[in-house]
Amino acid sequence: MSQKSAKQNRRVQELEALLQQSEQEKAELQEEVKRLQQKMDRLTEQFLNAQRARFGQSSEKKKYVMDGTEQVQLFNEAETTQNPKAEEPTIEEVTVAAHKRKKKRTYEELTEGLPEEEILLELKGDQLVCAKCGGTLRLIGKKFVKSEIIYIPAQVKLLKYFACTYACDRCEKKTGFANIVGTVAPPSLMKHSLASPSSVAEVMTKKYVDGVPLTRQEKIWKREGIELSSATLANWVIQTSQNWLKPLYRRLKHALLESTVIHADETVVQVLKEDGKKASSQSRMWVYASPKRGGKAIRYFEYQPDRKGIRAAEFLRGYHGCLVTDGYSGYDQVEGVTRCGCWAHMRRKWREAMPKGATMQTSQAAVGYNYCNKLFALEKKFAGMNSQNRKFARQAEAEPLLDAYWLWLKTLEPMPGSKLEEAVTYANNQREYLCAFLQHGEVEISNNPAENAIRPFVVGRKNWLFSDTPKGADSSAIVYTLVETAKANGIDPYAYLLRVLSLLPYFGKSPSNEELDQLLPWHQRMRESLLFKDNTI
């Protein structure tokens, strides 16, 4: 081979190597572009979800989320829905759904049950003299003019108890010694304290039902002319909860564990003075709820220093019913229960994966969302059935829908790291739990009872922000349990707290189960005297 040919071959080899290197660099750049595009899509998705969470419609109802069916028929509606034989509706039949408004309540309905007082607008003194003849005017009738609701501010007064002493004169005459009998004051909630059942019930209701922090309540009491510091109010709540309400709190747990189904959830609570933890660290408020079908509506709160699954396992030790939860893996530590998943969480995953303006034709997440809506529509249809009939109806109608859902799920190939992949992963990991309701007619398909129970706590937390001590957090759990259980049973929480705080001191420090059962919100005497008129809150 000549020197020239060898030089040309080396040149060709160099060019080939350079070309190969260029191809490799090109492939690497393409992969980098693809990776950056995926990252940008994920960040855009997260940003849109954050915007939707902050400013968008929070409801997950189908009417607030387009599923594509309305969009598809937007331009061919006339052709697809035309019916030349259709009769024209009368004026009475025409309704405009977009402008349908809830019927206004009458004054009589709004003020039903309020005490009434008539104000006679009478003439007095010289006004009764007739301007024409000077005679005296007499009343010949009256007519209704208007009604007003008058607000009467709360009254605060100091009750001073004096024990009276009585002597028997007859005994003194016969024996020379009088038989002395004295009266006894009602038992106190706290020794050497101004606290009463009504004042403590008011403080608890304002904080745990109305979300008014103790610092603001201090100012309210001051306007009433009483100097009560927030520290004093906190002491009232904690001491009363720990000394008197705790036995009833434990009795409610016993009743909860008798339920065939329990819903569980948890949320963050900050406790400033916990041993071995920073003030900024997060603790947990766990909530357990019985379902609507249980007959006894119970909302049970428990404070724990962390979110470890062992907390739920310890609380539910010995329980063998159905446990409805979200997808948190910590619940796997609960033994002896039938785990049931939450379809509201599943639907939420699909909702979060839907881009703005998504339809069933343009978004796979919208298809999954639509499957969930169909399942909830069936559940609404089955709502009036007893548990056994609902089980059979679910197996006949809901199970085929789920079979199609799981087959469709296998066809998806989501982009790694996307919200769609997160929804698919959640569905596959939770499949066993999401299908458990098919074998248990008493189980709801969502964890809404627990989420609804925990919502008042989350709303109140925005106002009072944190608990100072673990004992304060535990006391909050006790009071939240009582007021939310009362509300779930249609009972006014203030009236319920007033009743139990008035009666528990008479039972002593160790009341019997029979005595405590009389104070449970579903007890017949309690419901007869405290039940809301319309059984709603």
Contacts of 44 (CB under 8 A, 6+ apart): none
DSSP string, 343-367: HHHHHHHHHHHPPTT--TTT-HHHH
pLDDT band at 151 (very low <50, low <70, confident <90, very high): confident
Q: Which residue has the higher pLDDT, 82 or 59?
A: 59
Residue spans per domain, the chain: 342-445
| pLDDT per residue as tens digits for the range 174-194 | 888 888 998 888 888 988 888
Long-range contacts of 183-188 (CB under 8 A, 24+ apart): 185/161, 186/161, 186/505, 187/505, 187/506, 188/505
| pLDDT per residue as tens digits for the range 376-400 | 999 999 988 999 999 999 999 999 9
Q: What is residue 62's predicted lDDT score, i.e. its pLDDT? A: 54
pLDDT band at 302 (very low <50, low <70, confident <90, very high): very high
Mean of all residue pLDDT scores within the chain: 83
The secondary element (H helix, E strand) that includes residue 203 is: helix 197-208
Q: What is residue 46's predicted lDDT score, i.e. its pLDDT? A: 61
Closest C-alpha among 521, 473, 485 to residue 242:
473
| pLDDT per residue as tens digits for the range 463-476 | 666 677 888 889 99
Contact 287, 326 (CB under 8 A): no
How far is it, in rounded angstroms, from Cα 353 to Cα 233? 47
Contacts of 444 (CB under 8 A, 6+ apart): 261, 263, 291, 292, 324, 379, 437
- Average of per-residue pLDDT across 67-96: 41
| pLDDT per residue as tens digits for the range 90-112 | 434 434 445 556 667 777 777 77
Q: 3-state class of 445 per DSSP?
A: coil
By percentage, how much of the chain surpasses pLDDT 70? 84
Strand order in the sheet with 283-289: 299-304, 283-289, 261-269, 322-324, 338-340
- Average of per-residue pLDDT across 414-443: 92
Other beta carbons within 10 angstroms of residue 481's beta carbon come to 26
Q: What is residue 60's predicted lDDT score, i.e. its pLDDT? A: 59
- Average of per-residue pLDDT across 488-493: 92
Q: Say yes or no to pLDDT of 517 above 80.
A: yes
Q: Are strands 261-269 and 322-324 parallel, antiparallel or unpaired?
A: parallel
Q: Say yes or no to pLDDT of 254 above 60.
A: yes
**Amino acid in the structure at residue 31:** E
DSSP string, 156-167: ---------EEE
How far is it, in rounded angstroms, from Cα 43 to Cα 394? 39
Q: Which residue has the higher pLDDT, 266 or 526?
A: 266
Size of the chain in residues = 537
- Average of per-residue pLDDT across 35-54: 65
Q: Which residue has the higher pLDDT, 155 or 502?
A: 502
- Average of per-residue pLDDT across 75-102: 44
Could you tell me the two tokens for 401?
Answer: 């829908």
Q: What is residue 152's predicted lDDT score, i.e. its pLDDT? A: 81
How far is it, in rounded angstroms, from Cα 77 to Cα 314? 59
Contact 181, 165 (CB under 8 A): yes
Could you tell me the two tokens for 527?
Answer: 């419901």
pLDDT band at 268 (very low <50, low <70, confident <90, very high): confident
Q: Say yes or no to pLDDT of 252 above 50.
A: yes
By percentage, how much of the chain surpasses pLDDT 90? 43
Q: What is residue 471's predicted lDDT score, i.e. its pLDDT? A: 86
How far is it, in rounded angstroms, from Cα 312 to Cα 315? 5
- Average of per-residue pLDDT across 317-341: 93
Q: 3-state class of 472 per DSSP?
A: helix
Other beta carbons within 10 angstroms of residue 342's beta carbon come to 25
Alpha helices in 228-363 (DSSP H): 230-240, 246-256, 309-315, 343-353
How far is it, in rounded angstroms, from Cα 377 to Cα 67? 15
How far is it, in rounded angstroms, from Cα 173 to Cα 135? 72
Q: Say yes or no to pLDDT of 414 above 80.
A: yes
* Least confident segment among 103-112, 139-148, 397-406: 103-112
* Least confident segment among 76-80, 126-130, 331-335: 76-80
Contacts of 382 (CB under 8 A, 6+ apart): 390, 393, 394
Q: What is residue 298's predicted lDDT score, i.e. its pLDDT? A: 94
**Does this model's pTM top 0.75?**
yes
Q: Are strands 338-340 and 322-324 parallel, antiparallel or unpaired?
A: parallel
